Amino acid sequence: MSKDDVILKAEGLYKSYRMGEARVSVLGGVDLAVKKGEFVAIVGASGSGKSTLLHILGALDRPDKGIVSFEGRDLSRMGERELNKFRNKMVGFVFQFYHLLDELSVLENVFLPAMASKGVFGWLGSRRWARGRAGELLGELGLSERANHKPYQLSGGERQRAAIGRALMNEPRILLADEPTGNLDSATGNGILKVFEKLNRAGQTIVMVTHDERIAQKAGRIITLADGRVK
């Protein structure tokens, strides 16, 4: 693996949580590297630290020890402003429970990251573009008819596709998906996986966490976590 191909790298990641009096170790020295354009699946049993690892890779959480570098830049050296920018521009998150805002329409949910990256005046200037881009994404994801619906009016699969649209809004370098099919039936889950495969074929780097080996098989590479370490 050439050094230039690596987009995301984790070295010696440790993470533990306090649970009452005890301290529970979740990650115990995880090392991994993800290349540009790769589709990586992280698998492991429940509680093995998959989601924690994904959150750390996406700068939603900080490790107790270890380094996460994105395109060679150490995330721990980034300030709060840079991390926000990183989460907004470089990474797109897809969660198991979609996490769409119920008050907004599907279209508004999709262009939300573009809105978040602009100030009031910046948003006024780029609003038309953002709506257009969100509309395109919804078209690609087969949700054009649902653009003005509220999330609670959509099925689980549609909601997840809307969440994928939101994750892709700012054309992130890497898509991080946490159990994206975990809340869906098998057929719908397969549909979501097909979307991921299509995106990956178009060059999108994807890191997906799942506990389902069958789903993980769709990825180009599988990393197994056990007892807080890569097996």
Which residues contact another protein (rule: CB under 8 A)?
Answer: 55, 58, 60-61, 80-81, 84-89, 93, 95-97, 99-101, 112-113, 116-117, 166
Closest separation between CB of residue 99 and another protein, Å?
Answer: 5
Closest to another protein by CB, 1 or 79: 79
Closest to another protein by CB, 60 or 222: 60
CA angle 181, 56, 1 (to 5 degrees): 85
Closest to another protein by CB, 90 or 141: 90
Closest separation between CB of residue 201 and another protein, Å?
Answer: 25
| Residue type present at position 196 | F
Q: Are 13 and 223 in contact (CB under 8 A)?
A: no
Tell me how far CA of residue 210 lies from CA of 34, 50, 182, in angstroms.
16, 8, 8
Distance CA 180, CA 197 (A): 13
Closest separation between CB of residue 144 and another protein, Å?
Answer: 22
Closest separation between CB of residue 16 and another protein, Å?
Answer: 14
Closest to another protein by CB, 21 or 80: 80
Closest to another protein by CB, 167 or 192: 167
Closest separation between CB of residue 220 and another protein, Å?
Answer: 25
Name every residue whose Cβ is closer than 8 Å to that of residue 75 and which is 6 or more positions away in sequence: 59, 67, 68, 69, 83, 86
Q: Is 163 helix (H, G, I), strand (E, B) or coil?
A: helix
